[in-house]
Amino acid sequence: MKISEIESSLLDILKPASKLALDFFENYETLNLSKKSDLSPVTEADLAVNEIILKELKHLTPEVPILSEELFSKKNLKKNQNYFWLVDPLDGTKEFVNGSEHFSINIALINKGVPVLGVISEPAQHKIYIGSKNKPARLFRNNVFQNLKPKSTTNDCVVSASKNHSTSRDKSFLNSLKKDYKNIKMIEKGSSLKFCDLSNGSSDFYPRFGPVFQWDLAAGQAIIESLGGAIFFMKAKDSCYSFDFDKKINGFIALARKENIQKISKIASFL
């Protein structure tokens, strides 16, 4: 499979999927909302966007299995897969149903445990971020591509943080950063848009110290790594993605620039 040959096809999938998500968002107050077994919310928007993405991915790469947060059936999942798609059709459902624009659509291609291609759509802003092992991530907007430039390392530090998942560990991390940075600013957002902040130069770090599912992370990792960024995992085993619906990642720190990993590894040693 040549990644370069499917990037444009992914954009063709994300365009209608993003429009569909926006159509539902315009009527978020009347959405049918239910709870999954883990008590997380799911709406008719999640399911409808999931259906269109899965249909198009199966048409694009019929030989590649798909692992999605909104699987119609979890039966007969074969865990030992080299290539597979990892999909979150609506990341930030809590934000979505509360009328916040901080929601996204995530698609990643995994090869032997590593995200080699990632796409994040920000429907409310009509933006799509796409990057791979073969090509640095770019921003697609208004039918044109724009190059992305992560933030340069300075004495000032900007941290993208989860809006709904702040913990005491997050506060400890911010306090530790004060030893190396003169000024620290925090941007609170939901969903994978924090990875977009890293890629477009808005922030330096995205820490997440609680458990998170694979599909929340993989596309963002592929994008920032394509731009020279990195992810520092709290547990080394979490760096390998697998075709397992229940696999979670037990915390990480995403970096806009790889050269910060040595500094962050020292800060994170207290966790």
Same domain, 126 and 199: no
- The verdict on 26 and 140 lying in the same domain is yes
Range of the domain at 171: 156-270
Residue 140 scores a pLDDT above 60: yes
* Residue 42 pLDDT: 86
What pLDDT is attached to residue 72? 57
Higher pLDDT among residues 26 and 170, named by residue: 26
pTM above 0.75, yes or no: yes
Closest C-alpha among 82, 15, 26 to residue 53: 15
Rounded mean pLDDT of 123-129?
Answer: 97
Q: Is the pLDDT of residue 182 over 80?
A: yes
Residue ending a domain, choose from 95, 115, 147: 147
Q: Which of 113, 128, 147 is the last residue of a domain?
A: 147
Q: What is the pLDDT of residue 231?
A: 93
pLDDT 10s digits, 187-224: 998 889 999 999 999 999 999 988 899 999 999 999 99
* pLDDT score for 29: 86
Considering the domain architecture, whether residues 207 and 135 belong to the same structural domain is answered as no
Residue 166 has pLDDT above 80, yes or no: no
86 burial (CB, 10 Å; 0-12 / 13-18 / 19+) is: buried
